[in-house]
Amino acid sequence: MLGDHDVVNRREVPVLPLQRNEIVSESRIAQIIERARRAADEQSGVARQGHLFADLEKTLRETDRSKRVEFFQHEGENGEPWKNKLICGDSLHVMESLLHYENLRGKVQMIYLDPPYGITYDSNFQQRVDSTKNEEKDAADDVLTIKAFRDTWTLGIHSYLSYLQERLYLCRELLGDSGSIFLQMGDENAHITRTLLDEVFGAANFVSEVIFYKTSGKGAAGLDSVFDRLLWYAKDKPSLKYRQLYMPRPQHTLQEQYTLVELPDGTVRRISDKENDGSTALPTGARRFMPGDLSSQGESDEGSEPFEFEGVNYSLPPNTHWKTGLEGRKRLAAKRRLYPVGKRLRYKRYADDFPLAPYTNIWDDTVISGFGAAKLYAVQTSPKVVERCILMTTDPGDLVFDPTCGSGTTAACAELTGRRWVTCDTSRVAVNVSRQRLVSAVLPHYRTRNGKVSGSFLFRSVAHVTLKSLAYDLEPEKIDLVDQPEVDKDAVRVCGPFEVTSLGRYSVEDWKGYVVREPGIGEATKLENYIEVICRLYRKDAAIQGATGLVHAVAETEKEKIAISVGPLSGRVTGKQINDAVQDALASGILEVHVLGWAFEANVGEVKSQLEKRGKVKVELIMIRPDTLAEGLKATQPEMLFSPLALPDIEVAAAQNGKEKQLRVTLKGVALFDRKRRTTEYKAADSGYVSAWYLDEDYDGDCFVDCQMFFDFKKTPNIKAALRAEVDPEEFTLKLDSELFPLRGYKRIAVKVVDVYGNESVVVRDLG
Ligand SMILES: C[S@@+](CC[C@H](N)C(=O)[O-])C[C@H]1O[C@@H](n2cnc3c(N)ncnc32)[C@H](O)[C@@H]1O
């Protein structure tokens, strides 16, 4: 194996803890269930936010009240309950954090990695939460995004491979000894990435290369490319955890191998061509079989003696012995299993002795559109593929990690199959699509062996009649079908608790920029100041030398001066940073401050409005695109990289609910900054700009808990698909009034808005 993780030329990136931004807790799940039940009772589905849980409501409506609603919970270390994790952040930082703060070194059983394929970038990025294809109105945005994405890899395949290599080394550290990694790849780069995997994991740990159908063909010129590949490596192949999966025996195996039929009267004949191709049915009661070999390698005195059957003495080929002893052969004869072929004696292996066959490395049942399901994400993987990988290499309760979450296929499949999961993505669109997909899932509930998921499920099993079971009169072996757990029909299941996190609190250290270390040289040789890069990208006229304190640069034209402050690389912009930047700007006589960041703390909207109320200063909060600093980014248009943070505008009103006085929140709209016109624009909540909003009824000031959720269903293709003909999707416009709720302990609420670009912003309101 070539290099070790430590000696490879790597950028040193800050190692940051995860910061919980939001939890979908047990009580939250209980609320979901309760609301869905209420909506189901009301029949009409009047409670609009219930529509997210349309499937659940439908299930509850169609079954009697005794149906339980369950979710799986897992134990973590030290008896603490484990929480699955949806993380917004670059996989490189996230993996460092999982290793150093979350104690997950060697704890991951399977990694599913589906990175951008490194060639056709345009198929790998989705700009808006609600568009899976280039709709006309979004065409301009998409073109810009695609260009920015493609430009990320200035050194072409070299940039791409080093991007992957860094991450693969970290994947290896996360995997346990019996663990597996699957790298999903397109045709173009599969050969190069396989070499990379050989280097990182060792060629001896190569397990298989699977090809699976991704499309049924597009009618392209020449040969259509219809499959993608999975490159499967073990952390340590001799210790690999592998669970055999079976499929119905393929037709071609039957046709090639099971070419004889035994009729009910015991006569045997060759199968006809028409029977073999299925155009004529077999006679009733006929059984297909193939002649099975009764000999094994190696000669022995007794075990190689000729055997008499129906008056004929059958001998064995040289250097072989009978697979079963004399008694066994007699039993086979009594069961009419023996079948001479020429001079040799064989036994009848009926097709129905075991009607299944192990999977091979060609998967031809995986085309996603074949399921009639709308895709959530432009580059979504077929759940069948991911599910199969999970089932082959993990047991219930094992931990699965996907550093390229996308629409959350791996998390959804892990949830379905009772595995624990962690997943991350740099894209806020991806994180939001995934969250939505998870919380709205309705899953079958599986029976467990001992009440614990990690104690495994009860599986459907199939009898496997073998030569041994026949010869020794044994009960046929029961083969557990680990992809067919027994379903508890008295219950339905929803997604278990999970937390949504980003990379955590930061220190001044984070403003230092990346250190690039050359191989073999101990000292840092290059210090790139990312703040300079961002300021220049944002405003070409920004003068970096004008920096004082948290004003990192000043942009100056004839008419005006703007102070620019940039948030930390992997953390959130805090209210304090905004405050400090404004004070520093005012001290230099500058009245306009733009604070740029990759993420913002919840209270920044309040801080901004207080500062603006207090003085003459104008504050703009600007989101930086996640991949803006990707290594080797070519100079690119600022409009592609920066977008204003849209701040929710809400109204809280008291209302009487029976005897109790309760509260109701109304989303009025969002305020956002128009960079071209340099004005703050206001978008009404129903203007199509808001994709979803969430309410935390009792915000603790730290971690956002989704107590109520509202989606614009017209913009949510999966919900449309789920509802199909049942209801008119036009009815489902974004609900702007919350349900009534009581004032609780913290006397503080928070509202989070997700816009159609996947940007999140939060506003906090103290109600004390
Ligand atoms: C091909 S998609 C994955 C799709 C996913 N398999 C699914 O079924 O939806 C690749 C994803 O990787 C994300 N990505 C790219 N570079 C990343 C990085 N450095 N860290 C985390 N995520 C990244 C992209 O935002 C994109 O969502």
Query: Residue 153 pLDDT more than 70?
Result: no
Query: Residue 6 pLDDT more than 70?
Result: no
For 99, other C-beta atoms within 10 Å of its C-beta total: 17
Q: Is the CB of 160 under 6 A from ligand 1?
A: no
Q: Is the CB of 394 under 6 A from ligand 1?
A: no
**Distance (Å, whole) CA 394 – CA 421:** 12
Residue 275 banded pLDDT, cuts 50, 70, 90: very high
Query: Residue 134 pLDDT more than 90?
Result: no
Q: Is the CB of 425 under 6 A from ligand 1?
A: yes
Q: Whose CA is nearest to atom 5 of ligand 1?
A: 406
Q: Is the CB of 89 under 6 A from ligand 1?
A: no
Cα 110 to averaged position of ligand 1 atoms, centre (Å):
17
Ligand 1: atom nearest CA of 184 is: 6
**Distance (Å, whole) CA 510 – CA 513:** 7
Choose the residue to mutate in 117, 153, 400, 404 for probing ligand 1, maximizing ligand atoms within 8 Å of C-beta.
Answer: 404
Residue 715 banded pLDDT, cuts 50, 70, 90: low
Whether the Cβ atoms of residue 114 and residue 404 lie closer than 8 Å to each other? yes
**Distance (Å, whole) CA 275 – CA 261:** 10
Q: Is the CB of 424 under 6 A from ligand 1?
A: yes
pLDDT: is 80 or 627 the higher one?
Answer: 80
Cα 566 to averaged position of ligand 1 atoms, centre (Å):
25
The residue among 249, 90, 35, 218 whose CA lies nearest residue 570 is 90
Averaged over 722-747, what is the pLDDT? 66
**Distance (Å, whole) CA 213 – CA 578:** 50
Tell me the H-state helices in 44-117. Answer: 54-62, 91-100
Angle between helices 604-614 and 575-587 (to 10 degrees): 30
Query: Residue 150 pLDDT more than 50?
Result: no
Q: Which of 398-402, 412-416, 519-523, 755-759 has the lowest mean pLDDT?
A: 519-523
Q: Which helix (H) or strand (E) holds 621?
A: strand 618-624
Q: Is the CB of 430 under 6 A from ligand 1?
A: yes
Averaged over 79-97, what is the pLDDT? 89
Q: Give the pLDDT confidence score for residue 675 in this predicted structure.
A: 59
Residues with Cβ within 8 Å of 688's Cβ and at least 6 positions away in sequence, in order, are 712, 715, 756
Phi, psi (degrees; rounded to nearest 5) at 32: -55, -45
Q: Give the pLDDT confidence score for residue 3 in this predicted structure.
A: 40
Cα 95 to averaged position of ligand 1 atoms, centre (Å):
14
Averaged over 489-498, what is the pLDDT? 89
578-612 per-position pLDDT tens digit? 999 999 999 989 999 999 988 787 778 888 888 98
Residue 658 tokens read as: 């029976």
pLDDT: is 44 or 741 the higher one?
Answer: 741
**Distance (Å, whole) CA 278 – CA 128:** 48
Phi, psi (degrees; rounded to nearest 5) at 11: -80, 140
Residue 725 banded pLDDT, cuts 50, 70, 90: very low
Q: Give the pLDDT confidence score for residue 309 in this predicted structure.
A: 95
Query: Residue 748 pLDDT more than 60?
Result: yes
Q: Is the CB of 164 under 6 A from ligand 1?
A: no
Residue 556 banded pLDDT, cuts 50, 70, 90: confident
Q: Read off the pTM.
A: 0.78
Amino acid (1-letter code) at residue 713: F
Query: Residue 38 pLDDT more than 50?
Result: yes
**Distance (Å, whole) CA 56 – CA 78:** 34
**First-residue to last-residue Cα distance in the chain:** 62
Query: Residue 178 pLDDT more than 60?
Result: yes
Averaged over 264-273, what is the pLDDT? 94
Q: Is 192 exposed, middle or buried (0-12, 13-18, 19+ CB in 10 A)?
A: middle
Q: Give the pLDDT confidence score for residue 65 in this predicted structure.
A: 64
| Strand order across the 442-446 sheet | 68-70, 487-494, 442-446
Q: What is the DSSP letter of 476?
A: P
Q: Give the pLDDT confidence score for residue 266 in this predicted structure.
A: 92
Ligand 1: atom nearest CA of 167 is: 19
Give 655's strand partners: 662
Residue 676 banded pLDDT, cuts 50, 70, 90: low
Q: What is the 3-state secondary structure (H, E, C) of 185-251?
A: ECCCCHHHHHHHHHHHHCHHHEEEEEEEECCCCCCCCCCCCCEEEEEEEECCHHHCCCCCCEEECCH
63-72 per-position pLDDT tens digit? 656 678 889 9
pLDDT: is 245 or 437 the higher one?
Answer: 245
Q: Whose CA is nearest to atom 2 of ligand 1?
A: 406
Whether the Cβ atoms of residue 289 and residue 349 lie closer than 8 Å to each other? yes
pLDDT: is 687 or 315 the higher one?
Answer: 315
Q: What is the DSSP letter of 374?
A: P
197-239 per-position pLDDT tens digit? 999 999 999 999 999 998 777 666 788 888 999 999 999 999 9
Q: Give the pLDDT confidence score for residue 538 in this predicted structure.
A: 85
Q: Is the CB of 114 under 6 A from ligand 1?
A: yes
Cα 117 to averaged position of ligand 1 atoms, centre (Å):
10
Q: Is the CB of 116 under 6 A from ligand 1?
A: yes
pLDDT: is 589 or 522 the higher one?
Answer: 589
Averaged over 83-92, what is the pLDDT? 90
Q: Is the CB of 126 under 6 A from ligand 1?
A: no
Q: Is the CB of 649 under 6 A from ligand 1?
A: no
Residue 757 tokens read as: 């670009």
Q: Is the CB of 50 under 6 A from ligand 1?
A: no
Cα 404 to averaged position of ligand 1 atoms, centre (Å):
4
The CA R_g of the chain, rounded to the nearest whole Å, is 31
Buried (b) or exposed (e) across 61-84, using 16+ Cβ within 10 A? eeeeeebebbbbebeeeeeeebbb
Buried (b) or exposed (e) across 148-186, using 16+ Cβ within 10 A? bbbbbbeeeeebbbbbbbbbbbbbbbbbbebbbbbbbbb
For 582, other C-beta atoms within 10 Å of its C-beta total: 28
Helix (H, G, I), strand (E, B) or coil at 262: strand
Cα 131 to averaged position of ligand 1 atoms, centre (Å):
16
Residue 299 banded pLDDT, cuts 50, 70, 90: confident
Rounded to the nearest integer, the mean pLDDT of the chain is 80
pLDDT: is 348 or 52 the higher one?
Answer: 348
Q: Give the pLDDT confidence score for residue 148 in this predicted structure.
A: 35
Q: Is 658 exposed, middle or buried (0-12, 13-18, 19+ CB in 10 A)?
A: exposed
The residue among 293, 291, 296 whose CA lies nearest residue 350 is 291
Angle between helices 26-41 and 54-62 (to 10 degrees): 60
Q: Whose CA is nearest to atom 22 of ligand 1?
A: 425
Ligand 1: atom nearest CA of 430 is: 27
Whether the Cβ atoms of residue 228 and residue 185 lie closer than 8 Å to each other? yes
> Of the ranges 2-6, 7-11, 642-646, which is most confident?
642-646
Q: Supply angle C-alpha 370, 375, 377, rounded to 5.
A: 145
Helix/strand number for the chain, H first, E second: 18, 45
**Distance (Å, whole) CA 334 – CA 214:** 50
Cα 430 to averaged position of ligand 1 atoms, centre (Å):
8
Whether the Cβ atoms of residue 687 and residue 711 lie closer than 8 Å to each other? no
Helix, strand, coil percentages, rounded to 5, for the chain: 30, 30, 40
Choose the residue to mutate in 425, 502, 625 for probing ligand 1, maximizing ligand atoms within 8 Å of C-beta.
Answer: 425
Cα 114 to averaged position of ligand 1 atoms, centre (Å):
7
pLDDT: is 253 or 681 the higher one?
Answer: 253
Query: Residue 16 pLDDT more than 60?
Result: yes
